[in-house]
Amino acid sequence: MLTLYGMYRSRASRNIWLLEELGAKYVLKPIIQAYRLPDPKAPDAPLNTLSPEFLKLSPAGAIPVMEDDGLILSESLAINHYIARKHGGPLAPADLREDAQMVQWALFAATWIETPALEIMMAYARKETGTKAGQAAVAALADKLLRPFGALEKHLSMHSHMVGGRFTAADIDMAEIVRYAQPHDALMQRFPRVKSWLELCQNRAAFKKMWTLREAEPA
């Protein structure tokens, strides 16, 4: 059975969402991020990203990591691509063309959107937007997203979903990265098609299940 090492409050959320969409059997083995612990190397510390046992699976000490039939795979987007192709069906690429498009959008999200979007989410989580300096920092991050969000807005204005005119793993990958910027409503309002598409994705039962479990996990 597929084993996923990670936490709901991590990039493993995109893998869990896909697995729930597929109704696939899997085991989630909790691996907490080392930075969330006062002393991750303490003898009584819970299994974390700096634990020797985990570093054997992930020399980089990062979650998530997947283990399936002897295959050990890191990087959440690569994991999702593997899971989708293994299970097949409408969430997977139907042919080589769609496969290439899914890879294209995953790389676009990771290289153009994820870093500034994640920093926006963290700023809101730390309540930094309550100060003028924090607001200015978020505005500067949002400016970095205008170009990629503009491209995404144009694509979604012509297509109902990221690839193939149907909900696929590509939507999960993109939605989970765009989600990081979602707290900044001023940005989302500028891109109404992106906003409505994201809300449609997040209205799916599998996302709601994943999110409920995420919210129940200690922050």
Model confidence band, residue 108 (pLDDT cutoffs 50, 70, 90): very high
Helices (H), the chain: 12-22, 52-55, 76-87, 96-108, 114-125, 132-158, 169-178, 185-189, 192-202, 205-216
Whole-model pTM above 0.85?
Answer: yes
> How confident is residue 175, by pLDDT bands cut at 50, 70 and 90?
very high
Q: Is the pLDDT of residue 50 over 90?
A: yes
Residue 129: pLDDT over 90: yes
CB-based contact 66:84 (threshold 8 Å): no
3-state secondary structure 67-123: EECCEEEECHHHHHHHHHHHHCCCCCCCCHHHHHHHHHHHHHHHHHHHHHHHHHHHH
